[in-house]
Amino acid sequence: MRISVIGCGYLGAVHAACMAKLGHDVVGVDVDADKVALLSSGRAPFFEPGLPELLEETMATGRLRFTTDLAEVAGAQVHFVCVGTPQKQREYAADMRFVDAAVEGVLPHLAPGDVLVGKSTVPVGTAERIAERLAEVQPEASLVWNPEFLREGFAVQDTLHPDRLVYGIPEGPDGPHAQAVLDEVYATPLADGTPQVVTDFATAQLVKVAANSFLATKISFINAMAELCEATGADVTQLADAIGHDARIGRRFLNAGLGFGGGCLPKDIRAFMARAGELGADQALSFLREVDAINMRRRVRMVDLAREVCDGSIVGRKVAVLGAAFKPNSDDVRDSPALSVAAQMALQGASVVVTDPEAVANAERAWPSLTFAATPQEAAAGADVVVLATEWAEYRDLDPHAFGEVVAGKRIVDGRNVLDPGKWRSAGWVYRALGRP
């Protein structure tokens, strides 16, 4: 198939490379000339395991190219809209400017029989609105809403081997054609047995935000239990293990700690609440306010814990923060709990040094006022307290004896509950964690 991918961020760049890997002929379009130049030279503009190798492999086949010129989508039969929908400033709602611009940009190039595919996370109702515009400009093309569920850090694997494929297809005769075209695009994962849900536009759009809301709720649930554990002296990691053995609950996404961040979960639950309000269904999602509040409280608690281990004050204390990315295996610092904690401590008078294996450059751009170091040892040199904020494998594997040599005070606050308290305490450290005694 000849495919265009509009928007080459975390979603689009991976999608374009994966579609080429599946054997399609792909053009990726982005307004950012630097990003296009990097991708065109076979390099990934962000850290994503497996993507550099995949770009190299697929660019060599000649089936993948990148451009800033939207007119080059002409000739493709399938057009994926993969642009971002960030949170609006001073509002919960999603900013739809990039989606609207991408759609308006691509519409004049669509030919009869083409399929426009929405992948961006959008407020329910967007697909219906785009379908109306499509009917005005190119009535012989059709729209499918095909939400994406990839996780950063596992994006290549998740795109090539998705958990499920969801299509929201139009009512009427267009529907079967659009579905057949998308089935051809995804022939390989479908042949592998990937479950497929074919539904209407509204359901497809809701599936995406419902999934992210459920994941956010699961994390905040266990973090609320962590608050109870702190009040009672219980251990939230054991509690999670125990309830996770019930297959109806499951252990995944029950890791208590600093909570969720990133470019998806926080803004998606807020945009969902905003949209529910517009639809007169705000009561249905009022629990998401609590999910958000529990999540944000963990960041405050983390700063409090650092203060507690420093005998009541972090003013003038040297703090090493391990981690800047919102999660390991990513260089994404959007709404990163780690940076939020680091910045709070700096604002409260601590002298903070942040380190991360991949995200320092992005973190420096987002928080130029913070100080950064390349390694945990450099960050922790002379530190009064170490805060583990993102659970990179190399931080989990730190040797408490050797690491104890570089710090001024052996105090560690484990914001992700990944260290062995016994091991650290027996090496002479004061160990504190969120939701553990």
Residue keyed to tokens 């994390």: 219
- Give the residue among 89, 69, 85, 61 at the shortest CA–CA distance from 28: 69
Shorter beta-carbon distance to ligand UGA: residue 1 or 160: 160
- Can you read off the two tokens belonging to residue 371? 């100080």
Q: State the catalytic residue, choosing from 8, 18, 82, 264.
A: 264
Distance of CA 239 to the CA centre of its chain: 26
Q: If binding is defined by CB under 6 A, does position 255 make contact with ligand UGA?
A: yes
Binding segment for ligand UGA among 42-50, 74-82, 145-153, 363-371 (CB under 6 A)? 145-153
x/- track of binding to ligand UGA for residues 2-31 (CB under 6 A) = ------------------------------
- Can you read off the two tokens belonging to residue 257? 């700690």
CA 359, CA 42: separation in Å to the nearest integer?
21
* Strand pairing class (115-118; 78-81): parallel
Binding residues with ligand UGA: total (CB under 6 A): 21
Q: If binding is defined by CB under 6 A, does position 225 make contact with ligand UGA?
A: no
| 389 CB-near residues (< 8 Å, 6+ apart) | 258, 302, 321, 322, 323, 324, 337, 338, 341, 342, 415, 416
SS3 135: helix
Radius of gyration for the alpha carbons in the chain, expressed in angstroms and rounded: 23
SS3 38: helix
Shorter beta-carbon distance to ligand UGA: residue 154 or 377: 154
Q: Pick from 42, 118, 162, 262: which binds ligand UGA (CB under 6 A)?
A: 262
Alpha helix (H) residue ranges in 279-399 = 286-309, 337-347, 360-366, 376-380, 393-396
Q: If binding is defined by CB under 6 A, does position 264 make contact with ligand UGA?
A: yes
SS3 386: strand
CA 225, CA 217: separation in Å to the nearest integer?
12
SS3 3: strand
Q: If binding is defined by CB under 6 A, does position 395 make contact with ligand UGA?
A: no
Shorter beta-carbon distance to ligand UGA: residue 356 or 384: 356
Residues 106-125 that bind ligand UGA (CB under 6 A): 121
183 φ/ψ angles, rounded to the nearest 5 degrees:
-60, -35
- Residue 208 Cβ vs ligand UGA, minimum distance, rounded to whole Å: 7
- Residue 381 Cβ vs ligand UGA, minimum distance, rounded to whole Å: 27
Q: If binding is defined by CB under 6 A, does position 288 make contact with ligand UGA?
A: no
Q: If binding is defined by CB under 6 A, does position 205 make contact with ligand UGA?
A: no
Q: If binding is defined by CB under 6 A, does position 254 make contact with ligand UGA?
A: yes
Q: If binding is defined by CB under 6 A, does position 67 make contact with ligand UGA?
A: no
Q: If binding is defined by CB under 6 A, does position 99 make contact with ligand UGA?
A: no
Q: If binding is defined by CB under 6 A, does position 224 make contact with ligand UGA?
A: no
- Total residues belonging to the chain: 437
- Residue 421 Cβ vs ligand UGA, minimum distance, rounded to whole Å: 19
Q: What is the DSSP letter of 289?
A: H
Q: Pick from 327, 410, 411, 432: which binds ligand UGA (CB under 6 A)?
A: 327
* Strand pairing class (2-6; 25-29): parallel
Q: Pick from 212, 213, 237, 417: which binds ligand UGA (CB under 6 A)?
A: 212
Q: If binding is defined by CB under 6 A, does position 253 make contact with ligand UGA?
A: yes
CB of 103 closer than 8 Å to CB of 130: yes
Binding segment for ligand UGA among 133-141, 199-207, 243-251, 259-267 (CB under 6 A)? 259-267
CB of 426 closer than 8 Å to CB of 353: no
Angle (nearest 5°) at CA 15 between 207 and 292: 40
Instruction: Say whether 264 is catalytic.
Output: yes
Q: If binding is defined by CB under 6 A, does position 215 make contact with ligand UGA?
A: yes
Shorter beta-carbon distance to ligand UGA: residue 130 or 166: 166
Shorter beta-carbon distance to ligand UGA: residue 12 or 404: 12
Binding segment for ligand UGA among 25-33, 252-260, 276-284, 353-361 (CB under 6 A)? 252-260
- Residue 104 Cβ vs ligand UGA, minimum distance, rounded to whole Å: 24
Q: If binding is defined by CB under 6 A, does position 259 make contact with ligand UGA?
A: yes
253 φ/ψ angles, rounded to the nearest 5 degrees:
65, 25
**Which residues of this chain interact with ligand UGA, rule CB under 6 A?**
121, 148-152, 212, 215, 219, 253-255, 257, 259-262, 264-265, 326-327
Active-site positions read 264
